[in-house]
Amino acid sequence: MVPELDFVVMVFIRKVACSLPSYDHKLPILSCSDFMPSTSPDPNSLSPVVVGGITWLSIKSVNFCVFPCGADGKFNFKERGPLYAQGVGLQSL
């Protein structure tokens, strides 16, 4: 029993299948600042992160499920009761 929690949010991040460079490809030496965007990113965009000519991250969608705590103080992840919620936070087609 977890009296401090009222609900649990499960987040599912699906990535786009991408091809990584071959083993004989020499990876560039990068610093953290190389990954900082040069402009303000669009918060509604799922643009891929491309640095040094390599796609490091490309997200297809972000889905979430909300499970409320039951009257018995337990979470039931198998059943979808009347207060269960599910949605898509971001989706790229």
pLDDT in tens, the chain (93 residues): 555 778 888 898 888 876 666 666 677 787 888 877 777 767 666 778 777 777 878 888 888 888 888 888 888 888 777 778 888 876 554
Domain ranges within the chain, ordered by starting residue: 1-19+46-93
Question: Which pLDDT value is given to residue 60?
Answer: 83
List CB contacts of 53: < 8 A, sequence separation 6 or more: 28
Question: Which pLDDT value is given to residue 93?
Answer: 47
Question: Which pLDDT value is given to residue 30?
Answer: 79
Report, in this order, helix, strand and coil percent for the chain, each rounded to 5. 5, 35, 60
